[in-house]
Amino acid sequence: ASGASGSRPRAPATAPATAHRPARARDRGGHPSRRLHPNHIASRHRGSTIGRAAIAADTAESDAADGVVPAFGEGSPAWPLVHADLRSGKFGKVRTVSVADAKDLMARGASLADVRPRIEFEEFRAGVDGDDSLDVRNVPYMVPHRSVAKRWQGYMLCTKDGLKERDWRFTRSFAERFPDKSAPIVVGCKTGGDIGMEPIRIETDPSTGRTRQVIPEGSSQYGDKSKSNSLMAIYELQQAGYTNLYHLDGGVTKWCVDGERHQGDPYKFYFHPTILPGILFQLIMVEGIVVRSNMAYVKKFHPESFDQINNTNALYGIINDLIANSPINWMFDYYS
């Protein structure tokens, strides 16, 4: 291994398979010790082994191997530094175009790279299925997280497709869809972001040593208007050698709102099955924490009212039956 010390003693060479096998180990009582079957050992360590193999494969596949510095996630600089590089044209000038200008570019052969997550792209997008007059291709910048646990964190919060992360091979994925790095490409996301705005910064007060968030006009604690997936994508694509990129002002949302050819509605809620775990989780939490805690009080101190509510409120009865044997029910039965 590259991190190994040169002075570390080498392990003795192992005996060949045909050598004498060691006697079976015995425990302190003299009885043969219990040995795990290799399959049991493999199953015990399978998760960690697969995880290590996946990380190794991801490292080989990652665009970091191409020298691309990500704009988001592990290994990325703080956004104000990325924003400064975009403004200064460190890797190339960022050319922001309006929806009308983007339409003209596409009429003359440019393509639209929609870097939104796949489900968002399926819900609404520029162009119409079956119409080849606009070349629109989806290359998501953010993809479902490789960690199942983190994906489920998103599911429990009603996030479509679960918690996401930057595509660790984004520029390679992009090259698979757009192999010509000199072709004109308009890059768009949901809102576009504004490179002309100042980013949100974290500053340290020299007198107190405390950090504080400096939010410029136009942004808020809930969103940095200078930041967007399309700007982050352009930052990385310029490093990967793309020389003819355009940034779509206002994103795909503005394209649709301006009445250009599109399908779907950016302001409509579209149901997706991946939010069902979150709906069920929140239903149980509300029912368990709010309703059942109050009902436990009513049942104990006003039993006549409890019977009336339980018999006349059909919705409560359904929910009550649904989680009658759930841990949350056992917990709140303690109080009643």
Residue 256's pLDDT is 97
> How many Cα atoms are found within 13 Å in the side-chain-facing hemisphere of 298?
13
Q: Nearest Cα to 295, choosing from 261, 256, 323?
A: 323
Stated pTM of the model:
0.70
Give the pLDDT score at 9: 43
pLDDT at 303: 82
Q: Tell me the C-alpha distance between 145 and 22, whole Å.
A: 46
| Amino acid, res. 269 | F
Q: Which residues of 158-171 are buried (b: 16+ CB within 10 A; e: fewer)?
A: ebbbbbbbbbbbbb
The single residue listed with the structure tokens 């997936």 is 229
Pick the more confident residue, 96 or 310.
Answer: 96
Q: Give yes or no for residue 207 having a pLDDT over 50.
A: yes
More confident residue, 286 or 95: 95
Q: What is the pLDDT of residues 244-303, one digit of tens each?
A: 999 999 999 999 999 999 999 999 999 999 999 988 888 777 766 677 677 777 778 888
Domain boundary among 270, 292, 309: 270
The answer to whether the beta carbons of residues 69 and 166 sit under 8 Å apart is no
Residue 5 falls within a domain, yes or no?
no
Instruction: Answer yes or no: is 290 within a domain.
Output: yes
C-alpha span between 109 and 18 (Å, rounded): 69
Tell which wins on pLDDT, 75 or 309.
75
Nearest to 230 by CA among 119, 113, 64, 80: 113
Measure the CA–CA gap between 233 and 255, rounded to whole angstroms: 19
- Flag the least confident range among 5-9, 206-210, 244-248: 5-9
- Residue 193 belongs to some domain of the structure: yes
Same domain, 112 and 161: yes
Query: Which of 11-15, 136-140, 223-227 has the highest average model confidence (pLDDT)?
Result: 136-140
Q: Bigger pLDDT: 114 or 7?
A: 114
**Top-confidence residue, 177 or 11:** 177
Please indicate, yes or no, whether residues 142 and 244 belong to a single structural domain of this protein.
Answer: yes
How many domains does the structure of the chain reveal?
A: 2
Mean pLDDT of 157-166: 94
Last residue of a domain, one of 236, 252, 270: 270
List, for residues 112-148, the tens digit of each pLDDT value: 999 999 999 999 999 999 888 999 999 999 999 999 9
Same domain, 164 and 308: no
pLDDT at 330: 56
Query: Which H/E stretch holds residue 56?
Result: helix 38-61
CA 48, distance to chain mean position in Å, is 22
Q: Answer whether residue 174 is part of any domain.
A: yes
In a 3-state reduction of DSSP, which class is residue 279?
helix
Q: Which residues contact 162 (CB under 8 A, 6 or more apart)?
A: 144, 145, 150, 151, 152, 153, 154, 155, 274
Give the model's pLDDT for residue 327. Answer: 57
User: From start to end of the chain, where are the E strands?
Assistant: 96-97, 111-114, 125-126, 136-138, 142-144, 164-166, 185-188, 201-204, 211-214, 245-248, 262-263
Nearest Cα neighbor of 319 from 297, 285, 282, 287 is 287
232 has pLDDT over 50: yes
Q: Looking at the structure, tell me whether residues 287 and 252 fall in a common domain.
A: no
Q: Which of 270, 299, 318 is the last residue of a domain?
A: 270
pLDDT confidence of residue 307: 76
At residue 286's C-alpha, the angle toward residues 280 and 291, to 5°, is 130
- Pair 227, 307 in one domain: no
Task: Find out whether 188 and 112 touch, Cβ atoms under 8 Å.
Answer: yes
Q: 152 and 240 share a domain?
A: yes
Do 189 and 174 lie in a common domain? yes
- The pLDDT value given to residue 313: 67
Burial class of residue 99, CB neighbours in 10 A (0-12, 13-18, 19+) = buried
The answer to whether position 57 is within a domain reads no
Cα-to-chain-centroid distance, residue 216 = 26
Average pLDDT of span 9-18: 42
Question: With the CA atoms of 108, 114, 115 and 116 taken in that order, what torsion angle do they form, in degrees rounded to the nearest 10?
Answer: 160
Same domain, 250 and 328: no
Q: What is the pLDDT of residue 334?
A: 52
Judge if 126 and 166 occupy the same domain.
yes
* Amino acid present at 275: I
Q: What is the pLDDT of residue 178?
A: 98
Question: Which residue range forms the structural domain that includes residue 316?
Answer: 276-333
Q: What band does 79 get if pLDDT is binned at 50, 70 and 90?
A: very high
| Lowest mean pLDDT across 45-54, 230-239, 271-280, 316-325 | 45-54
Q: What is the mean pLDDT of residues 222-241?
A: 96
Q: Specify the pLDDT at position 171.
A: 97
Residue 39 has a pLDDT of 41
